[in-house]
Structure formats: C-alpha cells, structure tokens
Amino acid sequence: MELGLILLSVSVVIAAVLLALTLRRAPAPAAVPPDPRLDSVISQQGNIAGQFQQTVESQRLLSERLDALSKQLGSSLKENTDKTAETLGGIQTRLSVIDEAQKNISALSGQVVSLQQVLSNKQARGAFGQAQMEEIVRDGLPATLYDFQFTLSNRSRPDCIIRIPGNKALIVIDSKFPLEGFEGLRSAATDEERKAAVARVRADVGKHVADIAQKYLIPGEVQTPAIMFVPSESIYADLHDGFADVIQKAHRAQVIVVSPNILMLAINTIQTVMKDARMREQASLIQKEVGMLVADVKRLGERVVKLQGHFGQVEGDIRDVTVSAEKIMSRGEKIRNVELGGGDEAARLPGG
C-alpha cells in the first residue's frame, strides 16, 4: 500500500511538472491574469515532492536498521545455538556419569547382598574370617614361619600356627565370628530381647574361648596365650565395651581376643622379634669373625718377628762378606803395587 502511494505521488509530481512546462512555453495572453489555483497546485506538488524525499530517506534508514537487526539476530541466534549445544553436551556427560554411578550402585548393592548372604551362613562366615586372617599373616611374615591348618600332636588343627626363631613353642591363631548374639543385641527392641542377646554373646564367646584353650594349649608345644581372631572391628569394640568380664575370663584361660588391626600389630611385633634374633645371630657371627681376624693378626706378628730375625742374620752375613771383600781388594792392591815384603810378612800372607 505504501508503495502504491509513493507511485501515485510520483505520478502527480510528474504531471504537475509537465503542466508547468506547458504553461510556460505557451504564449501568455496579455490581458489574462495568473490563476491563483495554479500556484496552489505547484505549492502542493512541492510539498508532495519534499514528503516523497523524506519517505525515501525513511525507507533507507528503515532498510539499514532492518539489516543491522538481522545481523544482530543472526549473531545472537548462533551464540545461543552454540551455548545450547554446549549445554546439551554437558548434560550428556552428566547423564553418562550418572549412568555409570547407577551401575556402580547396582554392583555395590549386589555385593552387599552377597556379603549378607555370606554372613548369614555360619560356615561361609567362618571361611570369610579365616581368609581375612590368612591374608594378614601372609602379608606380614615369610612363608617359612607359618602354616595354615597345621596338625598338632593331639590331632587338633588350628587355623594358623606361627613359628618364632629360637623357640620351639608355636603361636596358635584360631578365627571365630560370634555374629548372631551381636546382631540380636543391635536389633533388640525390648529388655527381654536385650537380655537374651547378651546371654547369647556370653555363651558364644565363652564356648569359643573354652574350645581354643582345650584343643590347642598343649604344654611345651604351644606358647601361651593362644590368639582368638575376631574378623570385625565393630564386634571387637562392642565386646570390649560391653563384655569386659568375658575378656578377663578369656585372659585367665590364656586366650587373647584380637581384631584385624590388633593382629596386624601382633604380626609387626613378631617381625621385630625376628629382626632382633637375626641381629643377635649376626652379632655372634661378627664376634666369631673378629676373633679369627685377631688370631690371624697375631700369627702375622709372629711371622714378622721371624722375618726380622732372618733379616738380621742376613745383615750380619752381608757385613762379613763386605769385610772379606775389602780385605781381598786391599790384598789385590798390594799385589798390584808389588808391596809384598819378605820373611814374616810373606809368612802371614796365606793366613790373611
């Protein structure tokens, strides 16, 4: 519509210009005065031409602004597109991490369920505790100093025995896992349930201590105290916190209760004892070697004295040989100079 208006305005302006030129070329009658309507039309056409010029300028400015706006919108759209792509990439990465974490959680849940199944079975629980104990011993001692399932003289077989260098008596370790009583103690909701759980803990631990003392404490063969390994730090802590009388009873029976950390400390102590024993052996060997070295030095001194005596004898012989050589040289000089005399001097010559 605006374009039609513009074309109409242009047509009117052109018509007005042509009309003005025609009127100027035609010979004006001398007696006819100028028509004031023509001046009004020309003035209106000039105004229309000015408005047309303004309209053209406005159209140019509008076109420039539209171009600038288009560029700005394009740049903004590209920037937003890049940011959106980056955001989507980050979301994808986070989703991958979440998916991996979900898989780990699922695997961990499976392991927890598996561990619960192991702990719920008495034999599997015993095997779990024994494997943990064996791993601690195996990591801390050389294979020559321990045996698993070793048979004692009474045909009993503790879970582990440890040999101490220089001591014939063996250290016995047996793994026990009294879990049921402690689980009942944690889940007890009434005083009766708690009393029953406490009685269960005392009975189970007391039976384990009695079995170890009766089966494995053989005088002269097994060193006291024997070690009862409990493969749980929490159970060990609960046992010491709430059942001190049970621990004291075990001590009186020559059985000590240890957790994994305490067993590691005991193994480290055995390592220290072994190092001290090796140092004593090395010190004895060094003392023996030093004694032999002293004897060798003493013999060397004696031989040096003998050699010095030989050198003294050789020195005396050299002096005698030197005297004889000087006499021979003196005699030779006299012979050469014909200084031999007669009589007594000639008689002494052979005996010189």
pTM: 0.47
Q: Domain boundaries in the chain?
A: 122-258
Tokens of 32: 């006819």
* Residue positions counted in the chain: 352
Contact assessment for residue 146 and residue 163, using Cβ atoms and an 8 Å cutoff: yes
Q: Cα dihedral angle (121, 123, 125, 130), rounded to 10 degrees?
A: -170
List, for residues 214-266, the tens digit of each pLDDT value: 999 888 888 888 899 888 888 888 888 888 888 888 889 899 888 888 888 88
Q: Cβ-count burial of 27 within 10 angstroms (0-12 exposed, 13-18 middle, 19+ buried)? A: exposed
According to CATH, what is the number of the domain 122-258? 3.40.1350
pLDDT in tens, 182-217: 777 777 778 888 888 888 888 888 888 898 999 998
